[in-house]
Each structure stands twice: as C-alpha cells, then as structure tokens.
Amino acid sequence: MASITKLPPDENRGPLYLGVMIACLVLSVTFIALRTSVRLFMVKKLDLDDWFMLAALPFMIVNQGLSYVSLQYGMGRHIFFLGPPDIMNAIKYNAIAQIFNITTFYFVKASIVLFLLRLVTHLHKTKRMILWISFGLLTAMNVEALIVSIFQCQPLQKQWNPTSSGICWNRNVFQYSAYALAAVTILTDVVYLVLPIVYLWDLRVPTMRKVGIFALLGVGCVSMVCSIVTIPWLRDLSITLDVTYEIVPLACLKFAELNVAVWVGCVPALQPLFRKLMGPGSTMPDPESGEKNSHRLLAIKRSQDTGSTKSSAHGTMKSEYEVLDE
C-alpha cells in the first residue's frame, strides 16, 4: 500500500502578515506626513526628493491593500487547505501587489539618493558621480524587474491560473531577476550608507551629534540586512509547493526593508522640527545650507587659486563645518 503523506497543521501566518503591514504602514504614513508638513510649512519648499517620497505613498498603500486582499483568500495558510479558486485569487492579488512593491521601493530609494546629491552638492564631484551611477543602475534594475513581473506570463492572468491559454517564461528568469535586484539593492544600500559616513567623518561636529547621525545610518543597515536575508528565501520559494504559507516570512522582510528605508529617508528632512523642539545641536546635515556653503567654498577656492585672497585652510575648513550647524 502506498504511504500517505501527513498534512501539516492548518496554521495561519496571516495575522502576523497583517500585523507587520499595519504597523509599517502607520509609521510610514506618519513619517511621510511629517516630512511633507515640515517642508511645506517650515521650509516652504518641496524638492525633487520630497516629491519622490510623496509619489511612493499611494503605491505603498495600493501594495499593502492588495496584500490584505490576498489574506482574505488564504495567503498565510498552507496551500493544501485551500480550494483552487482561493489559491488562484491569493496568488493573483499577491502577484499584482509585487508590481506596486517594486515601484514603491524605487521611488523611496530615488528620494534617498536625490537627498544625498543635494547634501554633497558641488564640492564633491566624485561622490556625485558615484551617486548618479548607482542611481542609474538602480533605475535599470527596477525597470527590468517590472518588465519581468508584468510580462513573464502572457496574458498576465496565466501567472495565477495555469489552466488558461498563453505562455510563461522559464521560472528561472523570475528567480534570477529577483536575485539581481536584491544584489543591486544591497550594493546601493552600501553606497548610501558609506558616502554620508565619509562625508561626515572628518567634520568638526560635536561627538554626541555624530553619534546620533551614525545611529540613524545604523538603523538604515536594517534595510540592507533584510535584503541580504531575503536571498535564501527567494531560492526556497522558487522550489516550494506551499507558496501561500512559505511566502509570509519573505513578505514580512520585504515590508520591513521598504518601510525602514522610508523612515530613514524621511528623518533628515525633519531637522527643522528637531531644531525647534530640541535646539540647533539636534539637527542633521542640511542640504539647503550645504548648497549655499558649497558655492561660498568654491568662490574661496577660486580666489585662492588666483591669489586674490589669502584665506587660510583653517578658515575654509571652518566654513565647511558650518554646513552642519546652519
């Protein structure tokens, strides 16, 4: 007699999934709302990085809304306890949500790199070039990931309904695309973490203030760690049959990765609020002041080169340190 495989308990990871989604969404909406309010009513200006972060919000809400709908059809439960219609609907809404997830992540990372470009300004051409190259690479990989997500099956519905007519690419294409996007995300996370540290390391900033800035950058490492941890799950998910259950840890990590990036990306823009509440010593580097100071420093450098001024190196360095104090 053939052996009968014992089914696992009818567990449901849906509540965990929902809890992570709600917590992340509430915090991200709060951070983006605070950022926008500060920029509108205190700074009275919205820059390109602010618009990118704002653009991420509706895509994030739709992404999590679709993920919530997938829970109603059994996402988070073992696939063995779901009927065919529920399986197809759970996978359908999750697949569509991934398209919005990729778009959201791109807007958030674009906001961060555009902020860093304003921070380093005209004084640091090499750093700006590195940032632009990383931005181009990030853009290319996200476009590639979107193309794979949308066109891996034609028509799209064949992703969740294998009985429908149409064709799908080899599933390895999707897996390798996910690996490539994860690798580029990790690489750009390293760039966006290291460059601010290099920029701030030698500046004459109070020690406690440096500690606070580096602590914030350390929180940003959480997003990078989430990217690294997802790689083994991507491999396991590609070979499992129990996709509706096994996908939850990966989905939670991706939500954490995305939302931590939102929080870290918004904090520097809140510095006028921090300055008002806790004093000027509590603020982060100010790209607005940095841009003004960079023009001043370039003028000083040109004057030194032509011999029209005898400003000392100490005076020039002092002006650069003021970038963090204004």
Delimit the domains of the chain by residue range.
Answer: 14-281, 286-324
Average pLDDT on 28-56 reads 94
Higher-confidence residue of 192 and 48: namely 48
76-112 per-residue burial string, b: 16 or more CB within 10 A, e: under 16: bbbbebbeeebbbbbbbbbbbbbbbbbbbbbbbbbbb
| Answer CATH for 14-281 from 1.10.287, 1.25.40, 3.30.420, 1.20.1070 | 1.20.1070
Q: Report the SS3 class of residue 153.
A: strand
pLDDT for residue 294 is more than 50: no
CB atoms within 10 A of CB 145: 24
Q: At what angle do helices 84-120 and 243-266 cross, to 10 degrees?
A: 20
Higher-confidence residue of 183 and 2: namely 183
DSSP 162: T
Residues 254/226, Cβ–Cβ less than 8 Å: yes
Average pLDDT on 302-320 reads 42
Q: Please list the helix, strand and coil fractions of the chain in percent, rounded to the nearest 5, in that order.
A: 80, 0, 15
Highest mean pLDDT among 13-27, 125-139, 269-283, 285-299: 13-27
Please state, in angstroms and rounded to a whole number, the distance separating the CA atoms of residues 21 and 71.
11
Please state, in angstroms and rounded to a whole number, the distance separating the CA atoms of residues 16 and 14.
5
Please state, in angstroms and rounded to a whole number, the distance separating the CA atoms of residues 12 and 157.
26
Q: Report the SS3 class of residue 113.
A: helix
pLDDT for residue 316 is more than 90: no
How would residue 210 be classed by pLDDT, with cut points 50, 70 and 90? low
Q: Is the pTM of this model over 0.85?
A: no
Percentage of the chain surpassing pLDDT 70?
A: 75
How do residues 214-257 score in pLDDT, each as one tens digit? 666 666 677 778 778 878 777 777 677 888 998 998 899 888 88
Q: Shortest CA distance to 41 belongs to which of 256, 273, 282?
A: 273
How do residues 62-98 score in pLDDT, each as one tens digit? 999 999 999 999 999 999 999 999 999 999 999 999 9
| Helices and strands in the chain: count of H runs, count of E runs | 10, 2
Q: Length of the chain in residues, anyone?
A: 326
How would residue 123 be classed by pLDDT, with cut points 50, 70 and 90? low
